[in-house]
Amino acid sequence: MSRRAAETVRACGGEGRSWAAWLLALTLLLLPKLGRADGLSGPRRFALLVASTDGGRERARLRYPSKDTEALRRVLTELGGVTDGDIESLVDPDGPQVEKRLLALKQRAAQTTGSKQFFFYYSGHSDERGLLLFGSHLDYSRLRTLITDIPVDVHIGILDSCAAGAFAQRKGGAQVDPFLLPGAPAVSGHAFLTSTSEREAAQESGRLRGSFFTHALVTGLRGAADSDGDQRVTLQEGYRFAFDETLARTEATLGGPQHATYDIQLVGRGDLVLTDLRSGSARLYIPEGIAGRLIVRDSKGALAAEVSKPSLSARLGLSLQPGSYRVTLFEPARVRRGLVTLPPEGIELALSALRDVPIEIATARGGILEAAEQTEAASPTEEDPTYRVIPGNAGLVPPWSVNAIEKSRPIVNYFSLNLGWGRAARLYGAELGVLGAYITEEVSGLQAATLFAVSGGRLRGAQTTFGVNLARGDVFGAQLGLVSVSLSDLTGLQGAFVTYSSGDLRGLQIGGFTFARGGVYGLQAATVGYAARIYGLQLGGISIAGQVAGVQVGGINVASGRVRGVQLGIINIADDADVAIGMFSISKKYGAFVDLWMSDSAALNVSLRLPARYSYSLISFGVHPAGAGAGWQYGLGFGFHAPLSERLYGEIDDTVYGVQPGFATLQMPSLLNVTRLTLGVRIARRFAVFLGLTFNMQWGFQELEDPIRPGFDLGSNSMPHPRWRMWPGFAVGMTI
């Protein structure tokens, strides 16, 4: 017995006194060996998952890339040997941000020892040249270089996007099959998989809530691709399953069939294991004797897995999280459905748990099976034995209500009146509660209560309370209350003093404090508002976002990423903004510059320039040391920057100055407005020279005040103040 094991036995009460102590000691002895026996516990895996919904102004915005990355993230951390600390997800980054993260991963991987692998995944827009990332372009050649430069043994790259087959093509040679040498010490090389060929479009599905290819890949990695039954899914198995399923599911779509492609160059011993089904999740086994297409949905109605099992003799296992699932089995002329509770130790699906459900016979678009699949997610009716329909419910609390007559099956209500609070599985109608309303699965209609309204799954309609609204599934409609929370996507209106949306919000989010973890496609208005991504308008006292494609308006605007649009506020802060209009605008990518220049209004001018991509703010100070116009001036300005070529640029700006005549005393300043039109040449990254014309207007407020320069005097001694003078001028200087 090892010293560590012996010390553990003694701590448990003495050697030989407890069988539990001996068992613990044996576990400690075997634990290292068990870890080495696991094919995924050896190499350390790093992963970067990128979702891009926005491919530029000329392309339609995608809905499900972030869902694709989240589904893949779960399977990699549950079954793929990737720890939470070694996986990162980016949603709607631009090209430089992706490059920055890949370079950071390169440094991080270089600092670790042992066997290592890197997994890159992209879901979004692309063309035949590269990835389209939030208005920027990342070439395939550059992406391949960034991936393969990471110092690991195996590089895995998966692209689920249009025309991505060009990424898998290599110049100067023909694609060959991978070769694995029996005597080689380990697997090394690269594997690049794409969801489409060079001229095909990648497609996503509203029913799948994701892309066809990624859904097939994730289902395969959860066990559907385990063709040899060894409880491990290899690269070859996962690719073949994803190829077949994607092709089968897209052959009849408007976008046409998708053909996944690959470039796999691996050498070493054995195949590359992507997921180990023995670790992490619970197993749902589909035994021999069951054949057909199976659809598995979780308690919120989200699709967990969809797979074909053509053979009665084969046994299939799916690795899922423990919980409740609705399983639907489609056979050639029969549909069965049932509710299954999956324990941590797993369970085998029994046909006795599935009951026949009616299907709609339709042949306009296909056969009986297709029609059944189209209505798979439809609401249960009185003919569906999976649920008990009780049209009307009334009661005080769930045990003292009409619904209490059903002891085993979930209940569907069309109307419910609760003096306290009620409970049912599904609601298709209206529920009124004095205290609360609680539906465990989904709501289609109205939930209204005083303190709380809860929908455990999808909500189609409205939740309204004076307290808290909670929807765990997708919301199509409205949430109105003191606090409104959506834990998935919301399409419609979310209004409350405090609002929270965990997924994407398409519509309107209004509140005192609003928070959206996903993208807001529409309007977010609040005293303090936060959104991971804004596509539209963010309006508030303090507006905070990650990426912005639209307009951000507030007293203080903050964007941690790219602003492809306009920031309008007193203080604007962004990583990279197109246009920022305000008193103080800081774009971290462009930093700060100093302008040194001469003009007709002041011999020496110094300006702090705070540039964005196409605009800039100016904080200026000028001195004219001698003559009739001697004095000093200070001002704030704003301008637009127009690149004309790589080095040549044009600018127009306007600055309002306070002008102090002389240097002895402070007086009532006159106002000077200076509009500049300049042409500049950038000689180095931080050095440019410019020259141009100015148009000046001065307002004087004192009786005997002299103008700082001769000009066209539009006032007279007989006119009341202010006196107004204007004149043309010049500006010449440099930016450093």
| Residue range 5-62, pLDDT digits in tens | 333 322 333 333 343 433 334 333 333 333 333 344 568 999 999 999 888 777 778 8
Residues 12 and 77 in one domain: no
Residues 230 and 132 in one domain: yes
Instruction: Tell me if 325 is assigned to some domain.
Output: yes
pLDDT reading at 496 higher than 90? yes
Q: At a CB cut-off of 8 Å and minimum separation 6, what does 446 contact?
A: 429, 430, 431, 461, 462, 464
Average pLDDT for residues 347-370, to the nearest whole number? Answer: 64
Portion of the chain with pLDDT greater than 70, in percent:
84
Residues 555 and 601 in one domain: no
Instruction: Tell me if 381 is assigned to some domain.
Output: no
Instruction: Tell me if 288 is assigned to some domain.
Output: yes
- CATH code: domain of residue 122: 3.40.50.1460
Mean pLDDT, all residues of the chain:
84
- Chosen domain end from 276, 293, 326: 276
| Residue range 627-664, pLDDT digits in tens | 666 788 999 999 999 999 989 999 999 999 998 887 77
For residues 208 and 211, give the distance between their C-alpha atoms in angstroms, rounded to a whole number: 7
Which of 74-78, 112-116, 336-340 has the weakest average pLDDT? 336-340
Instruction: Tell me if 383 is assigned to some domain.
Output: no
Structural domain boundaries, residue 173: 38-276
* CA-only gyration radius of the chain, Å: 33
Which pLDDT score is estimated for 713?
53
- Chosen domain end from 585, 611, 633: 585
Written as one string, the DSSP assignment of 672-728 is: EEEEEEEEEEEEETTEEEEEEEEEEEEEE-STTPPPSS--EE---TTSPSPEEEEEE
| Residue range 184-216, pLDDT digits in tens | 347 889 999 999 888 888 888 887 888 999 999
What global pTM score does this model have? 0.78
Q: At a CB cut-off of 8 Å and minimum separation 6, what does 496 contact?
A: 469, 479, 480, 481, 482, 483, 484, 511
Most confident of 70-74, 201-205, 721-725: 70-74
* 364 three-state secondary structure: coil
Instruction: Tell me if 462 is assigned to some domain.
Output: yes
Q: Residue 377: which of 296, 453, 455, 431 has the closest Cα? A: 296
Residues 456 and 570 in one domain: yes
Instruction: Tell me if 172 is assigned to some domain.
Output: yes
CB atoms within 10 A of CB 35: 11
- Chosen domain end from 374, 403, 427: 374
For residues 107 and 121, give the distance between their C-alpha atoms in angstroms, rounded to a whole number: 19
Instruction: Tell me if 379 is assigned to some domain.
Output: no
Tokens standing for residue 500: 């929270």
Instruction: Tell me if 380 is assigned to some domain.
Output: no
Residues 350 and 239 in one domain: no
Confidence band of 298 (pLDDT split at 50, 70, 90): confident
| Residue range 661-705, pLDDT digits in tens | 877 777 778 889 999 999 999 999 889 999 999 999 888 766 555
Which pLDDT score is estimated for 505?
95
pLDDT reading at 438 higher than 60? yes
For residues 469 and 85, give the distance between their C-alpha atoms in angstroms, rounded to a whole number: 33
Residues 296 and 272 in one domain: no
Residues 333 and 400 in one domain: no
Residues 341 and 410 in one domain: no
Which DSSP state fits 60?
A: P
Structural domain count, the chain: 5
| Residues 217/233, Cβ–Cβ less than 8 Å | no
Residues 497 and 608 in one domain: no
Which pLDDT score is estimated for 14?
37
Tokens standing for residue 694: 């100015």
Residues 62 and 176 in one domain: yes
Portion of the chain with pLDDT greater than 90, in percent:
53
- CATH code: domain of residue 709: 2.40.160
Residues 61 and 17 in one domain: no
Residues 449 and 574 in one domain: yes
